[in-house]
Amino acid sequence: MEISLIRHGKSLLTENDKITCLEFNKWVEKYDYNGVFEESAYPTATLEKVATANIVITSDLKRAVESARLLKPITKIISDPLFRETELPSNSSQLFNVKLKPSIWAIVLRILWFSGYSYQCESLNKAKFRANKASQQLIDYANEYKSVVLVGHGFFNMLIAKELQKKGWKGIRKRDAKHWDCMTFSLLN
């Protein structure tokens, strides 16, 4: 049995102007709404895992669904909000009135999130609980279909990978999560 976790492609949203933290919330909405760039080539290992998968799962966010369709155009895809990316906290005040690029806001807010700040979003503990549930769902699919691919998101895929490893699944969990990268886990009987 095999479970492969693939990170979605690069977003079509290319806006990179400096913005406030409050404006970053709107930027995230646009990021979620936009699709992904179609590449001229995809990583060979990723294409091999998608080609041999008996089932393809995605989060319900557009970038994950579109990525799966680009990797395997003629296949049934099951989309489920269980596999959505972990959210970033927001800030309802002008505490962060400074302007930064969206990529820097994402880093700052992710650090705050890992430190326990989860205003108006799922906490790290709740995300870990959801990752445990998601890993079990993928294991259930693997029991039925033998070879499963999840096209998901960087941070949440890493949380799922940790849960799979806790449950005895073997694989290499990469530290970086580049677009289109694939991590594969197997359970030897």
Q: Per CATH, which fold does 2-186 belong to?
A: Rossmann fold (3.40.50)
Q: Which residues of the chain are under the pLDDT cut of 70? A: 92-96, 173-176, 189
Backbone angles phi, psi at 15, to 5 degrees: -60, 130
H/E stretch holding 57:
strand 55-58
Are the beta carbons of 49 and 6 closer than 8 angstroms?
A: yes
Q: What is the structure's pLDDT at 21?
A: 84
H/E stretch holding 152:
strand 147-152
Q: What is the structure's pLDDT at 96?
A: 60
Q: What is the structure's pLDDT at 174?
A: 63
Q: What is the structure's pLDDT at 85?
A: 95
Radius of gyration of the chain (CA): 17
Q: Which two tokens stand for residue 98?
A: 């400074």
As beta bridge partners, residue 19 has 100
Q: What is the structure's pLDDT at 54?
A: 95
Q: What is the structure's pLDDT at 74?
A: 83
Q: What is the structure's pLDDT at 2?
A: 96
Q: What is the structure's pLDDT at 173?
A: 61
Q: What is the pTM of this model?
A: 0.92
Q: In this structure, is the dihedral angle defined by the CA atoms of residues 31, 174, 162 and 171, taken in order, positive or negative?
A: positive
Q: What is the structure's pLDDT at 123?
A: 95
